[in-house]
Structure 1
């Protein structure tokens, strides 16, 4: 089941209050979207954890998306790395089809720990100490950091070029006309938009890296709101895309504008991203990466 009950519970009341009924985003819609094999810096976050509380980590699955922002730093959302049981271990895969890799490893009869090592590379999480923050700034930002040997393994398995981070206040400086004229893209491994069935709505699919173009909606102090409307030729994020990148093309260069945090419940209308050009986001990231 790609829409994890655990992932849903990780969204805080403060974020929900800001976004009025929104839920955590986790996947790319089927409409106006396509695979993104070329975006090798975009990956999936996996967790190895003890689901039944017996002291043995028997569950390995992917839960969020994210982006490599330098050779050893994977940027994701704080709600992806918090509220886990003690002993959880985090892994990152930059595979195009993470679900396929998991299915293959499980079919081979590997143990959960062996599956985790087969599918991803383990790292250490660092979550913003200010999370969950408040309605103005939720501080919903985290990284998974890799040692030199882990970073070498990651690059050896999936060669990538890290995403370009924005300069301070870049999107404020663009102004309304510049923001409207900018091309925006969201990427991630999340599920599909809501489908109605006999048991109610379901969000199928997920686990494959996808991309979709969005339209500009609004810029707030720490939030970037992007339109996903199918009728306007846009796609967007859904469950499982949390922590994944929202890119802007600025002066012909793809720049990481923000990370997917939430959106509307059925994943049809709005993607809300946490900006990474703000003082608070840069204050956190500056401890892990060289900022432009």
Structure 2
């Protein structure tokens, strides 16, 4: 590997690259055997594999479960195959860019549609941002390591940086001293860049000036993103990898009855269940069988139990099937007073969801140690009960009540404060409507323009509707 070229153009044997002509002739890097010069053997980047057709070798990248990105000058022979993750999969289609021209190497990009999806390897997304001069790149390919080399077939990696950016190509220069380049067999392979912490395919190895190591020219992938999306039927990943599978289980808490308590044969089981993507359903079981299921909050269950000791199990599931559990053991006494069904609360009553309130509105107030309490609509004229203050929401037609700011008769604040404090004593507290407070319905009441912290989070949870 005396040169720093990646033999990224692998399938070019049929193009007669060995002829190498004068020094100013641009030649495909991988007609028959191209490899990365001044690169090192590499076992990473599992989405990069070998593209073979009619005896020729190129490099290619899996960019979707059934979509492979390579160069248009690769794969002209019969029978296109892609080898990745220990599999050799036939291509059912080879789609060459309609404006590809072998003369001048214009639009040197093509897509292979595989006959079956690859499930053992995560595809790499393509770059959708404009590359920039000086941007570091990572070259990976199966080509040879020198102009007359015969060591293709080994995956190698090298580093370089973008020297020029043109409408449909990027280029990089030189090899040696830690810098690598492309060579025969690297054709079709990737030039990776990192965008927002995500590695994406920014270039497809196309050609270079002989001998290998002088320079490399790649087709700019972002310039063809719409075409790639179209011909892959949106199978190709764009810009960032798919979000990781949800693996966070819901949290479950049994609010009542309390563990070890005595209850009547008729009782209400109240459950608080939450999940970052939303609770799909909550199940209640005892005696080895599911007794009740709810798919919306509030999770209150009316149960009938026989006298004796019972263990009640609660399971909450999200859409991905993750589950959280909780249990409580109670003693059922036929003579105990039945647990009353809780009535919706009025302004200021504790709540967990909107259905706990007569108004169907439950507010979470960070100024009161994150307490949740029932709120209600208000106007400047009518005001609010118990010294509360009226706040705007994102809906100009709706205002809601909030408890007085800390230092004005409520809450806890190490800065002190009895009822005689003036508005603004606590700079992080909510301010009254006439003080310019704005709030967002269903999410958070934001602090006034001069405050930097959130003041009050208002959660509008209508009946039979859960927040996701």
Alignment TM-score > 0.5, same fold: yes
Change in CA separation of 1:81 and 1:71 when aligned onto 2, cut-off 3 Å: same
Change in CA separation of 1:93 and 1:261 when aligned onto 2, cut-off 3 Å: same
1:97-148, CA deviations, whole angstroms, 9 ceiling, x for partnerless residues?
xxxxxxxxxxxxxxxxxxxxxx72101211112211875x81111111023x
Inter-partner Cα distance in structure 2 for 1:276 and 1:144: 15
**2:166 corresponds to:** 220
**Residue segments in structure 1 that go unaligned for 5+ positions in a row:** 11-15, 50-60, 97-118, 195-201
Inter-partner Cα distance in structure 2 for 1:276 and 1:134: 20
Please identify, of 247-256 and 233-242, the stretch whose mean Cα deviation from structure 2 is larger.
Answer: 247-256
Change in CA separation of 1:133 and 1:204 when aligned onto 2, cut-off 3 Å: closer
Q: After superposition, where does 1:176-187 map in structure 2 within 5 Å?
A: 179-180=133-134, 182-187=135-140
**1:142 corresponds to:** 110
In the TM superposition, residue 263 of structure 1 has moved relative to its aligned partner by 0.8
**1:163 corresponds to:** 124
Q: What SS does structure 1 have at the residue aligned with 2:100? A: coil
Inter-partner Cα distance in structure 1 for 2:99 and 2:216: 23
The answer to whether the Cα contact below 8 Å between 1:224 and 1:274 also exists between their aligned partners in 2 is yes
Inter-partner Cα distance in structure 2 for 1:184 and 1:6: 26
**1:44 corresponds to:** 50
Inter-partner Cα distance in structure 2 for 1:224 and 1:190: 20
Match for residue 205 of structure 2 among 243, 260, 281: 260
Determine which structure has greater relative contact order: mean sequence separation of CA pairs < 8 Å that are 6+ residues apart, divided by chain length. 1
Change in CA separation of 1:164 and 1:251 when aligned onto 2, cut-off 3 Å: same
Q: After superposition, where does 1:83-98 map in structure 2 within 5 Å?
A: 84=77, 88-94=78-84
1:242-272, CA deviations, whole angstroms, 9 ceiling, x for partnerless residues?
1000011223221211100001222112111
Q: What SS does structure 2 have at the residue aligned with 1:282? A: helix
Change in CA separation of 1:223 and 1:207 when aligned onto 2, cut-off 3 Å: same
**Residue segments in structure 2 that go unaligned for 5+ positions in a row:** 1-8, 240-468
The answer to whether the Cα contact below 8 Å between 1:28 and 1:211 also exists between their aligned partners in 2 is no
The answer to whether the Cα contact below 8 Å between 1:29 and 1:235 also exists between their aligned partners in 2 is yes
Change in CA separation of 1:5 and 1:76 when aligned onto 2, cut-off 3 Å: closer
Q: What SS does structure 2 have at the residue aligned with 1:66? A: strand
The answer to whether the Cα contact below 8 Å between 1:3 and 1:191 also exists between their aligned partners in 2 is no
In the TM superposition, residue 234 of structure 1 has moved relative to its aligned partner by 0.3
**1:271 corresponds to:** 216
Taking structure 2 as the reference length, the TM-score comes to: 0.43
Match for residue 8 of structure 1 among 9, 15, 19: 15
Please identify, of 202-211 and 238-247, the stretch whose mean Cα deviation from structure 2 is larger.
Answer: 202-211
**1:111 corresponds to:** none
Task: Compute the RMSD of aligned alpha carbons.
Answer: 2.8
The answer to whether the Cα contact below 8 Å between 1:73 and 1:146 also exists between their aligned partners in 2 is yes
In the TM superposition, residue 282 of structure 1 has moved relative to its aligned partner by 2.1
Match for residue 190 of structure 2 among 228, 245, 251: 245
Inter-partner Cα distance in structure 2 for 1:29 and 1:192: 5
Inter-partner Cα distance in structure 2 for 1:77 and 1:90: 13
In the TM superposition, residue 3 of structure 1 has moved relative to its aligned partner by 7.9
**2:157 corresponds to:** 211
Higher alpha-carbon Rg: 2
- 2:72 paired with 1:78: yes
**2:63 corresponds to:** 69
Inter-partner Cα distance in structure 2 for 1:274 and 1:170: 13
